[in-house]
Every structure is written in C-alpha cells, then in structure tokens.
Structure 1
Amino acid sequence: MKKVLLLILTSGACIIVYSFIIYWDTIYGVIKVNLPKLDQFGSRELTTTSNSNQGSLRSIDQSVTTEKTIVSTKLLNKLYLEKSLMPGNFTNSLVTSTHFPVRENLAKNYITITFQGRLGNLLFEYASLYGIAEHHNMIPVIEGGCHLKKVLKISATSGQKLANVKRYNEVKGCTFEKEAFNLDRKYNWILNGYFQSWKYFVDSSEHIRKELKFKDSIQHEATNQFHKILNLKGISNTSTYVAVHVRRGDMVHSSVMTKYGYTSADKRYIDDAMTSFQLNFSNPFFIFSSDDISWCKTHFTKENTAFILQKNSPEVDMAIMTNCNHSIITTGSYGWWIAWLIGGKTIYYKNYPVKGSELDKVFNSETYRPPSWIAL
C-alpha cells in the first residue's frame, strides 16, 4: 500500500513539474504584466495619481499619459541632477532615491542674475544672462517674481536658491567683460551687474528676439494705440515709421547724475537725425515717446510728427514704438532696447556720456552700441 501511495505522489509531482515547464511562458507573461518594467539602466514604469506630479513632469518630459508616466533614463538623470543642484525644487518628485546611474555628460549647471533697475536695465540683464548661459551650455534661471515674467513670453525657469554657487561681479558698467565668458562650468553661478553690452548676447540674438515678445494683452493694447495715432494724423500705410525716444528727466534735472557724466540730447541733434531720415526715406512719420513729452511737443511741431500722450506702463510704450521701422534714440537703456527690438536703421546721440566724466571712464561705446548703429 505504501508503495502504491509513493508511486501516486511521485507521478503527481512529475505531472505538476511537467505542467509548470509547459505553461512557463504563460505564467511568466502574467507576472511580467503585473510587475513594474525595469530596463538595464533602472528605468521603470510608474503609476501616479498626483496631478501636481504629472504637471511638474509634463514640463520636463513630454512622455506623459493620463494614467501612467514613463520615466526614461534621461528623465531620471535630469531629475536627479536638478534635485541635487536645486535643493527643494523637486520635493514632490516621483524620484526620491539617489541610486540612479548618472552620466556626467548629461549634467548642466545653472546660472542666474541679480535683477536691478527698471525695464531697460532688466532687458539687458536678461539678454546677457541668456547669452552667457548659452555660451557655457548652462541653464538660465530667474526668480519667480521677476517683472519680466509678467510682461514678456520669456522661457527661463524659476527656481530656488542654488547650491555649489560662485558669483561673478561686474567690474564696469557699460562695457563688455570677456571674463564673463570664462566661467568654471563645475559650479552654478550668480551674476551681479547690469551687463550692458550687445556682445554678451550677439550669438544668441535670434533666440532672444523670440524670448522678448510682449504678452498678448500688452501687444494688443500697443497695436490699438499705434493705429489710433496714425488715424488721428491721417497717415497711410505707405509711410516709413520712425520711433523717436527722448530721455530727459533725471539726466537733466539731477545734479548727481549730470556731475557723474549723464546727459540728454539737445533739440539740434534730434532735428539733424530727423532730417537724415527725410533725405533717405519717402514719407517718414515720427512718433515720439519721452519722460518729458511736453518738452517734445513744444520743440517739434511739424505735421509728420505725433506723440504718445496716454499714460501707459513702460512696456506698453515700448511695444507701441516697436511697431515702427527705424529709430532715433538719445540716451539711456530704455531707448537702446526700443532700437534693438525694432531693428532697421538706428541713429544715436554720440555725445553721451560727457567726455572725461567718471561715467566716461567705465563706458565703452564700441561694446555698448551695435556697430551698425549710426552716431550723430
């Protein structure tokens, strides 16, 4: 009897083993479907129900579905690197472990700038940050409350305080410092200064023109006001539109500023610049923007002139002027950016700053103004 039972048990075991071998593919398939998928680098398929996690990943990697997020090796490396370089920025990230294989060539450090001043200064700072970042293959980061994010369609991300940071402090103001193009790529960097030179971003100009697009609401308002100005004067589309920016204000009335070397253009310069356009273009029409518009209205009274009279924000005024074809500028970074954004022919006031002044000692006209602009 024992031999019979032993024979039955042995036969049963053999049948089970044989069945397991025969149906192994099916069993393995079921297990494979129900387990997370891992590749040789540790990539895995994760299920997430957090809307915030999906939103943050969507901005980093486009391989996102409504039910599952495929986290590729490249994404894991990117999240790991950004988590280590920007503490706290990915506290809700799906990736919480640091045991992922990180490839050195994927690493990109960050660079930011201390924003200061008004719109013209901010534009110089952002454009130079972008150009310096692109030169070093770094990622530009700006603070979340930066005014430019409210008025422009800039793409730079906002982040928290950087770790492993070095600072570059600008030595002079209106000049190009080549040392800013030789930063150690092992560190994250903070730039301090105004960086007012076209040479910081000349190689990135095409990208920056796309970055410095005014938001739709601002551009819409500016376009409406521009056409109202033309309609009031009965100006046709056959005219050549010339933006004239006149900076006076503190450059005329502040003794501290004038003593340091700041100055404003006189009426003769503007008359000569307007004459130059009249000689070289058919039907030029001049639109004035100024912090002293009453002075402009008093001194320029010809029929082919108009003025922005409405009290606008600086960005709306600048957007109005960028509807023009060419520009005449006096002094200051605000007028500089009107000219740069317009393109076309630009005439600038050559007697700025005052020769021999303290400002003149830190000012380099060749690196401050593009070489295609015309001094008068």
Structure 2
Amino acid sequence: MTSDGTTTMAGHNDFGRFVVLSLTFGCCSIVFYVFTQQDVIIHKFAKSYLVTITHSSNETQFTGKNNYKISEKPLKLQNISTKSINNYVTMNFKGRLGNEIFEYASLYGIARHNYMIPVVGDKFRLKRIFKISLTSVKPVANIKRFKEAKACAFDEKAFVLNKKYNWTLSGYLQSWKYFIDYSDDIRKELRFQNAIQAQAVQKFNEIVKATNVTDKNKLTYIAVHVRRGDMLHDKPTVRLGYTTANVSYVNNAMSWFKKKYPSAFFIFASDDIAWCKANFNKPNTAFITQRNSAEIDMAILSQCNHSIITTGTYGWWSAWLSGGQTIYYKDFPRKGSGLDRLIERAQAQTIQKKQLLLMDGFFLQIAGFNKTGK
C-alpha cells in the first residue's frame, strides 16, 4: 500500500512486462530464423549455380560422333555478393516441347542477367526429359509479372527487372539474346536423361542398320525435320502467316550437303512422314516411322552432325542440340502476313537457291532463325 492509501499490482505489472518481453523475443527469433533460412537457400543456390558451376564436355554420342566440346573452365561472373541474390524468377510455361525449351532457356538467361534465382515447379515437364538442375521453392510473395512487349523479338527490359520484387515471366520469349551468354550452361541443362538418350541411340542405330550401311562411322549424318500438319491444314495458323517448305527446298538442301559431304546420310522426322517418303525415298536416306514421343525423336535427331529444318521451334532446338551446319527454309513466314510483321529477321548466308539459308553451329547460337528475334 502506498502513502496515499492506494494499492499497487506489482505482481501483475511484472507479469505484463514478462509477457511483452517474451513476445518481443519470440518475434525477433522468428524473423532471425526466416532471414537465416532464406540466406541458406540463397547461399546454396549461389554456391551451386552462380559460383562453382564448371563447364564440362557433352557426353560422347554413342554414334561415334561428338559434335560439341564445352571447355572446362569456371564461369566468369561479375563481382557479386550472395547477400544480393534475394529475388526469384519463374515462368508461366506453355506450348509444346520446342516452346517450353525456349521459355526455359530464356528464364535461365534472364534470371542470370538480373542476378536473380531462376526456379521451376516441382512437376516441370522438362525435368523428366533433360538433366535440369534448377530447383523449386515454395510460393513466394511480392510477385510482379513481366510480359514481353512483342512476340518473336528480344525485349531489353527483361534484363533490368526491379529487384524489389520476385518475377513471373510471361510469353514465348523466342529470342536467342535472352540466353546466348549462357549457351554452355544451357547445353549442360539440356542433356537428355539417360533412359531417353539410351533409347534414342538404340533407335538411331536401328534406323541406320536397316538401310544395310556397311560402316556407319564413315557417314556424315544429316537430320531433316519437316513440319507440315497444323501449318498446312489449320486455317487460323495459315492465315497468320505460317508456311510449309516445298519439295524443291528439301531437294536443294540435300543436294548442297551431298556436294559438301559425299558420305551424307539423311534421317527424316516429320508429322507427315508419308509425304516425306513419297518425295525423298532415295539412297542413303532413312525415316523415323515409329510413333515415338517428341523427346525421343528430338534425341534421335540430335545424334546427327548437321541439320535441314523447315519451320517451328521443335526443329530449331533439334538443330541447336545437334550443332554443325543448319539449312533453314528462307520463305517463312509468308511475306506481308501478321506473323511477318512480328518477326525481326536475322541475317544469314544465302546459298545456291533463294530458298536456302545456311547457318553453322556458332551462327545458329548467336543469330538464330525462325522467331528468334533480332
């Protein structure tokens, strides 16, 4: 009791202070835990993906051909502290295999350019097909969406994303510029899973053996991908400006390779294989006639030394994975069409007939073709 006769509640006040202090300490502990855990995740990513990644040679192809060698050297990165890597970038994947590969490669390149962490979902389809290294995280907050300004063209704004936010990319992102600086990394990411690679090699050897070739190791293999299907029969697609390569284009391309490589052996894949067999059933030519999955056919085509392709992202990536020289159909898309107004064309060496564009493996990487941007 005080001198004025009032009674203090000393015990209650002490208890109140204890509760306040406990709550404060608890909140601080939670914040500290979240921060340290986030740093663990970020540091783990930085160590695995941004600092210690080394480039290694592609696995030797079982056909006896090894078209690519990636030098073994550490990545040269700008000075960057792992503490500054605290934003995530993901992608709204859509489309079929060729589209998804473009989206994945661009996601990787955009994230790396922005010093952010690229992530994919647990059920990301390409993980089943390729040796994808990217991890997944629980949903994160503070997300903004980046949508490309123009289809089929590089958008430089993708390289200056605001680091106050996490980002979700939207669009097909079909430009080589998004990922060219990390081409060696992308090649490492796009190694086929062992089971797919083994199956593709077996089928490749069966295809060659069926033609009674005496020494398959002396041949120069040319992958030929012919897309017709929707680009020929789907009216909205045709109206947009998609075209299909004609017989003379494929014959001219084959003739060019025969002159350059007398031992040329052509392997056709197509969504209209009957059309291919009716028009190109010649010596040293084989056709993938089995109904394989898209990834198996792409893995088979990637075993070849060089490529002839028509239109579409599937053929683009089959040729990119194969390397060597690629001939591409020049008359795409239809001039004056809506699609033609979207695409910013790359320059390439025109050879022989006006329909032919030639691109070697390096040019294929840095300049691209078909919807790859400027």
Q: Give yes or no for TM over 0.5.
A: yes
Q: Secondary structure at the match of 1:144?
A: coil
* Partner-residue secondary structure (3-state), 1:237: helix
> What per-residue deviation string (whole Å, max 9, x for no partner) do you get for residues 104-143 of structure 1?
8344211001000000000000000001111111111111
Which one of the candidate residues 324, 330, 343 is aligned to 2:310? 330
Q: Is the CA contact (8 Å cut-off) linking 2:39 and 2:83 kept in structure 1?
A: no
Secondary structure at 2:104 match in 1: helix
1:246 to 222, 226, 231: 226
Deviation (angstroms), 1:76: 4.9
Please say if 1:281 is aligned against 2:242: no
Give distance in 2, aligned partners of 1:322 and 1:108: 37
* Deviation (angstroms), 1:178: 1.1
Q: What is the aligned partner in structure 1 of residue 139 from structure 2?
A: 161
Question: What is the distance in 1 between the residues matched to 2:236 and 2:276?
Answer: 24
Deviations 1:273-320 (A, max 9, x none): 111101111300000000010000000011111000111000000000
- SS of 1:306 mapped into structure 2: strand
* Structure 2 CA distance for partners of 1:104 and 1:127, relative to 1, 3 Å: closer
> Equivalents in 1 of 2:368, 2:167: separation in Å?
32
Aligned to 1:346: 326
SS in 2 for 1:142: coil
Letter matched to residue 176 of structure 2: W
Whole-Å separation in 2 of the counterparts to 1:328 and 1:216 = 26
**Number of the residue aligned with 2:281:** 301
- CA offset digits 1:47-80 (Å, max 9, x no partner): xxxxxxxxxxxxxxxxxxxxxxxxxxx9756148
CA distance in 1, matches of 2:291, 2:136: 31
Q: Could you tell me which of 115, 126, 135 is aligned with 1:137?
A: 115
The alpha carbon displacement at 1:253 in A equals 0.4
Cα distance per residue 1:80-121 (max 9 Å; x no partner): 879xxxxxxxxxxxxxxxxxxxx9834421100100000000
Provide the residue aligned with 2:249 in structure 1.
Answer: 269
CA distance in 1, matches of 2:249, 2:199: 31
Shift in Å, 1:151 = 1.1
SS at match of 1:311: coil
Partner of 2:61: none
Deviation at 1:162, TM superposition (A): 2.1
1:78 aligns to 2:42 (yes or no): no
Task: Write the mapping of 1:176-325 to structure 2, written as runs, cut at 5 A.
Answer: 176-235=154-213, 236-325=216-305
Change (3 A) 1:106 1:179: closer
> Are 1:173 and 2:151 an aligned pair?
yes
Give ranges in structure 1 of 5+ residues lacking alignment: 1-41, 43-73, 83-102
Offset, 1:171: 2.3
Partner of 1:299: helix, strand, or coil? helix
Gap change, CA 1:317 and 1:276, over 3 Å in 2: same
Task: Name the SS for the 1:210 alignment partner.
Answer: helix
C-alpha change, 1:349 and 1:371, in structure 2 (3 Å) is: farther
Which residue of structure 2 aligns with residue 119 of structure 1?
97
- Deviation of 1:187 after TM superposition, in Å, equals 1.5
Contact 1:77 1:106 in 2 (8 A): no
Q: By how many angstroms is 1:372 displaced?
A: 6.1
Shift of 1:369: 6.2
Give the residue type in structure 2 aligned to 1:78: D
Give RMSD over aligned pairs. Answer: 2.5
Residues of 1 paired with 2:118 and 2:152: CA distance? Answer: 22
Distance 1:266 1:371, change over 3 A: farther
Distance 2:345 2:126 in 1: 26
Q: CA deviation at 1:159?
A: 2.2
Determine whether 1:365 maps to 2:345.
Answer: yes
* Alignment coverage as a number of residue pairs: 285
Relative CO higher for 1 or 2, CA cutoff 8 Å, sep ≥ 6? 2
Please tell me whether Structure 1 or Structure 2 has the larger radius of gyration of its CA atoms.
Answer: 1
Distance 2:117 2:87 in 1: 6
Alignment correspondent of 1:66:
none
Q: 1:271 to 1:291 in 2, by over 3 A?
A: same
Relative to structure 1, is the Cα distance of residues 167 and 148 closer, same or farther in structure 2, using a 3 angstrom cutoff?
Answer: same
Residue number among 98, 109, 114 corresponding to 2:87 in the alignment: 109
1:163 aligned partner, one-letter code? A
Question: 2:210 aligns to what SS in structure 1?
Answer: helix
Moved more, 131-140 or 111-120: 131-140
Contact 2:305–2:322 (CA under 8 A) maintained in structure 1? yes
TM-score scaled to structure 1, two decimals? 0.71
CA contact (8 A) 2:306 2:319 kept: yes
Q: Contact between 1:124 and 1:196, CA under 8 Å: does it hold in 2? A: yes
